[in-house]
Structure 1
Amino acid sequence: MDVTVNGQLTQVPFGLSVADLVRGRLPDPRSVAVAVNGAVVRAGDWERTQVGPGDAVEIVTARQGG
């Protein structure tokens, strides 16, 4: 199915959870925030939150520096 991840159209399998999507893109998912269709998804809800066709997902990582 097609979803948009960080502004790029991406093919993902049906039934994919937010946790699976994050793990597939980032080796260390700590310090990560995720929003699906503009709504922030708490890290504790990633496993049970599925990505659906046409969803827009933003994955943001925190970085230190100046």
Structure 2
Amino acid sequence: MVVWINGERREFAPDARVLDALGALGLPQKGVAVAVDGEVVPKAQWAGTALVDGARVEVLTAVQGG
């Protein structure tokens, strides 16, 4: 299935979850926020939140500084 992550097209297995999207980006599970189709997904739900074909995933990383 096709999932868009931060505007980039990615291919995933039909049973992919939010954690799979983070793994595809090589991102840690700390300091990251995830939204799927405009809805923020709490970290506690990443493993159980299924992605669907055509989903739009936005992954934001926290940065420090000013």
Q: 2:30 & 2:49 partners in 1: Cα distance? A: 18
Return the offset for 1:24.
Answer: 2.9
Where does residue 9 of structure 2 map in the other structure?
9
Tell whether the 8 Å contact from 1:23 to 1:29 is kept in structure 2 after alignment: no
Identity %: 36
Moved >6 Å (runs of 4+): none
Tell whether the 8 Å contact from 1:5 to 1:57 is kept in structure 2 after alignment: yes
How many residue pairs align between the two structures?
66
Letter of the structure 1 residue corresponding to residue 17 of structure 2: S
Tell whether the 8 Å contact from 1:37 to 1:55 is kept in structure 2 after alignment: yes
The unaligned stretches of length 5 or more in structure 1 are none
Where does residue 45 of structure 1 map in the other structure?
45
* Pairing 1:58–2:55 present: no
RMSD (CA atoms): 1.2
TM-score scaled by length of structure 2 = 0.89
TM-score scaled by length of structure 1 = 0.89
Once the two structures are superposed, residues 34-65 of structure 1 have per-residue CA deviations (whole angstroms, 9 ceiling, x without a partner) of 00000000000001101110000001100112
